[in-house]
Chains A and B, each alone.
Chain A
Amino acid sequence: DAGITQSPRHKVTETGTPVTLRCHQTENHRYMYWYRQDPGHGLRLIHYSYGVKDTDKGEVSDGYSVSRSKTEDFLLTLESATSSQTSVYFCAIRPGDSPNEKLFFGSGTQLSVL
């Protein structure tokens, strides 16, 4: 999986609690992404980063924040988890600066908010 590690792989939490998901890459690529996958919606972009401390919102960013203090780590935080945030979360990297480069995805984090 192109040196991408997501942790945890599975998480069960309660409504109202904060949750942080971690994406770690070993290749020092600039571009990193967080997507969520839901049946009937495909993949939707939450946030992305184009460098250390350079992040921007995606299509479904409400209720999520991100941080990238090191090139290799991109953290996704749910400030106060809700049941609507139950989903599978995927991190992806883009090896080059060209937007036509293919993405490499991690194995995903299954998050359940009860």
Chain B
Amino acid sequence: AQSVAQPEDQVNVAEGNPLTVKCTYSVSGNPYLFWYVQYPNRGLQFLLKYITGDNLVKGSYGFEAEFNKSQTSFHLKKPSALVSDSALYFCAVRDLRGSQGNLIFGKGTKLSVKP
């Protein structure tokens, strides 16, 4: 089965501290992984993706994600959190079962960064 899990409903971080938002996946082939962010009352925005190559992927707004095949994880990270990073974060994996490659999204993790 193709699936993605975000084990934390909410992550709380103090401004200036590093942040990690966790994601694990289950696919029957090579994984194609994505992170999206949703700010209040807005649609989702693309942050970054892993398709192949370097396990450390850099994205928008200073975010990066580390692909770990042995742990089947794709955690989102940022060295120094900002209050403006507070939002809902979604991990997604490409569904390899169909020919269209639609995305399967996780349930989302709410990130709260306090001053």
Contacts and interface: CB of A to CB of B under 8 A. Distances in A.
Interface of A: 1, 4, 31, 33, 35, 40-45, 48, 50, 56, 58, 90, 92, 99-100, 102-108
Interface string B83-97: 000000010001000
B100 A56 contact: yes
A100 B44 CA distance: 16
B43 A106 contact: yes
Contacts of B101: 99-100
Given A43-B90, A45-B102, A99 B32 contact: yes
Interface of B: 6, 32, 34, 36, 41-46, 49, 51, 90, 94, 100-108
Contact of B107 (A40, A48, A106): A40
Contacts of B105: 35, 42-44
Nearest to A44: B105
Contact of A100 (B90, B94, B104): B94
Contacts of A104: 43, 46
B59 to A, nearest CB: 10
Contact of A105 (B44, B49, B102, B104): B44
